[in-house]
Structure 1
Amino acid sequence: MLRSMYSGISGMRNMQTKLDVIGNNIANVNTFGFKKGRTTFQDLVSQQLAGATAPDGNNSGGVNARQVGLGMQLASIDTLHTQGSLQNTNRELDLGISGDGYFVVSDGDTLFYTRAGNFYLDSEGNLVNSQGLQVRQVDDEDSIGNPINFADLLGEDRDDWIDYIESFSIGADGSINIINSDGELEDIDAQIALAKFSNSEGLQKAGNNLYTVSANSGDPRYYAPGTNGAGELVAGTLEMSNVDLSEEFTEMIVAQRGFQANTRIITTSDEILQELVNLKR
């Protein structure tokens, strides 16, 4: 009886974890660049009541082992880095990635990686994300280039660089095309960098739509968009969350019923224990 109760407890605990992951997915259904989570389970060690025996070679066949399972446990909480749909915004600094790769942003000391491409220009011409982290440009495969600053790229002062620009656009290869106030195309030698990893699912979430390198993600490799398997940029779009609400609600029902079934195991075991106690009356 006690074995069944503890099995039920393990099932309840892990169904709650599954619901926690589902709740976070649903909460982020409209978060740009969000990648949904998924829980998987595995059984716990089983108590062996009798071992297996082999056939004796005469008239006696083999006998299988007799084991009683002791419940279940969490096997993994995966982050699924599948492509989200691209939503049109028609804003020059909204960039979606079609394919593999992550934007590279930094606070000066630490590098972060993100699929959320809603970028902005600050007062000094820095290309930044919504937290003010600076977007990096391509240098080579093994290192990150300098932060992208429009004033520096144009060789202008950081106080009045904006007067020099008539318009700009960002190409699918991450190149920055600027039309100056004289209507001339400026030759800008800079491309927005994308990072690739041997195991993207090993990246660690850092909040604010950001990821950091982990011990199992592999080292980042930096490429221009559209090269070496990196995706291309689609200007005027943002990548939506890859959460499918119909799938999440279905998994929520499965988790809820799994939780309820495990509570029934506990209450049924309790009723049987009560009957045993009543034998002494």
Structure 2
Amino acid sequence: MLLGSFYSGLSGLSANAVALNVIGNNLANINTTGFKRSSAQFAQIMSNTISGVNGSGNPLQVGLGTRTTEINAKFEQGSIQTTGIKSHLAVQGEGFFAINQGGNTMYTRSGNFGFDQEGFMVAANGGRVQGFLGTNPDGTVDTDGGITDLKIDLGEASPPTATDSVRFVSNLSAEAQTGDTYSTSIEIFDSKGVPHQLSIEWTKTANVGEWDYAFLFPDGVVSPAAPNQGTGTVVFGQDGILATVDGAAVNTITANRQILLTNINSGAGDVLFSFDLLDIPDPSDPTQNSSFVTNFGSINNTGTVSQTGFGSGILQDIDFDQEGTMIGFYDNGQTLELGRIALATFNNKLGLKQIDGSFYFPTAASGPASVDGEGTGGRGSIIASSLESSNVDISEEFTSLIVHQRGYQSNSRTITTTDQLLQEALNIKR
């Protein structure tokens, strides 16, 4: 029986040594980005029944020590620290970043990413960050397709957008005389992104509160044919507010005028744009509107002009929103969705196999990765310009260190005591 005590004490030494190693690893990684601390779990080793049962029928058994049964990572959320680097990302939730290296996909909580010389978004180990690059017709990222390597090209051109709406916030003088004119211009864009000057000329008629308008387009032709001709007439009421447009009362207008430009000298296609005279918040109730053109005071002036077109722009900068969408900022003022970070979850995170660099491989125990580009399924949200800190708790680790240190010392004392007893047994013969 005494020899069994040696093995019980030895198993205790071994188990507590493993636990001390786990604690040491936790403390060593206290400043490792995205690191998840681990803990060791023990279980008793049992021997056979040593002498049947007692009078109550209970078995008489003695244990043979302990063994390490699990070393589990604890995936509690780490604190988020701001870095100011836009390519640094943190996950607030359960998701993992997907990284492809050499055709193998691994997963991590460490979002200290950057861009390589080819424009690929890469992790610290050089693996490429996975995400979605396709776009839907409305310009949003298509997350229904497969994931791929995320890539940008600073300096790339954005596609132009032809003008489809023009607005002049103007006042036409209530004191103008018949034949007086007033004109203002705006820069618009064709389908190739080429800018053109478009002017509108207002002419006071002999009728009270009535003005004719005509669009002038030197780089092409303003369609003369109805319903998209560039000429018309507006009438203002006694309050100086727009009353009719081309003979239609403003409270019956459900759409603003459509003007067509053709034969554009750049070779671009025709441009059809809306001439916005009215602000109609709710088309189902056209009586609730306001006029962008008024007939007040003694001066002609234009306060604001606006249009919806853009020329081609050059990508200047990027950022990420909470859904992990990579937003591109262009020098023409446009912002476009360039891609979206893929986030993965697992049915059993504890089954993931840890490898160097705070990366994980899926196993049969963890199950396959469920990957998406949305913050659904517990995947969480993305916090840009930030990193997730290690979740190691120093006070808890030091407390565990003391407990396992005492456990190791106690088991070593068991061995030395057993050795002394065996020595006494050997001395009986003397």
TM-score scaled by length of structure 1:
0.89
Matches within 5 A, 1:131-210: 131-138=125-132, 144-151=146-153, 164-188=314-338, 190-210=339-359
Distance 1:85 1:69 in 2: 43
Shift of 1:141: 8.6
| 1:26 partner letter | L
Question: What's the counterpart of residue 58 of structure 1?
Answer: none
The range that moved more, 9-18 or 81-90, is 81-90
The answer as to 2:253 corresponding to 1:252 is no
Residue 341 of structure 2 aligns to a residue in which SS? coil
- Structure with the larger strand share: 2
Deviation at 1:273, TM superposition (A): 0.7
Q: Which runs of 5+ in 2 are unaligned?
A: 134-141, 159-312
For the 8 Å contact 2:157–2:314, the answer to whether it is kept is no
Contact between 2:155 and 2:315, CA under 8 Å: does it hold in 1? no
Kindly provide the amino acid, as one letter, of the partner of residue 149 in structure 1: K
Cα gap change, 1:8/1:167 in structure 2, threshold over 3 Å: closer, same or farther? same
Q: Check if 1:83 corresponds to 2:61.
A: no
Q: In structure 2, what is the equivalent of residue 25 of structure 1?
A: 26
Structure 2 CA distance for partners of 1:111 and 1:192, relative to 1, 3 Å: same
Answer yes or no: is the 8 Å Cα contact 2:130–2:147 preserved in 1.
yes
> Structure 1's 153 and 259: CA in aligned 2 closer, same or farther, altered over 3 A?
farther
Cα deviation, residue 90, structure 1? 2.0
C-alpha distance after superposition, 1:165-214 (max 9, x if no partner) = 222110110111111133322343x2110001100111101211111111
* Counterpart code for 2:24: G
Counterpart among 223, 229, 243 of residue 378 in structure 2: 229
Give the 3 Å change call, closer, same or farther, for CA 34–18 of structure 1 in structure 2: same
Task: Compute the displacement of 1:221 (Å).
Answer: 0.7
Aligned to 2:86: 92
1:80 CA drift (Å): 1.2
Q: Does 1:276 align with 2:388?
A: no
Contact residue 321 and residue 384 of structure 2 kept, 8 A: yes
- Give the structure with the larger helix fraction: 1
Residues 180 and 245 of structure 1: CA distance in aligned 2, closer, same or farther (over 3 Å): same
Residue 340 of structure 2 aligns to a residue whose secondary structure is coil
Q: What is the Cα deviation at residue 5 of structure 1?
A: 1.3
> Structure 1 CA distance, aligned partners of 2:393 and 2:58?
44
Flag the 1:210–1:144 CA change in 2: closer, same or farther, 3 A. farther
Unaligned runs of 5+ in 1: 54-60, 157-162
Q: Which amino acid in 2 is paired with 1:212?
A: F
CA shift, 1:62, in A, is 2.7
1:57 aligned partner = none
Paired amino acid for 1:192: I
1:47 maps to which residue? 48
Residue matched to 2:67 = 73
Q: Give the structure-2-normalised TM-score.
A: 0.59
1:91 touches 1:237 (CA, 8 Å); kept in 2? yes
Distance 1:152 1:46 in 2: 68
Q: Who is 1:56 aligned against?
A: none
State the 1:151 CA deviation: 2.6
CA-CA distance at 1:12 after TM superposition: 0.4
- C-alpha change, 1:155 and 1:197, in structure 2 (3 Å) is farther
In structure 2, what is the Cα distance between the partners aligned to 1:131 and 1:11? 38
State the shift of 1:138 in Å. Answer: 3.6
1:13 counterpart SS class = helix
- CA drift of 1:155 comes to 6.9
- What does residue 38 of structure 1 align with? 39
Q: For residues 114 and 122 of structure 2, what CA distance do their matches in structure 1 show?
A: 5
Deviations 1:84-141 (A, max 9, x none): 1111112211111000110011014100100000110111111111111111114899
CA distance in 2, matches of 1:236, 1:142: 27
2:6 corresponds in structure 1 to 5
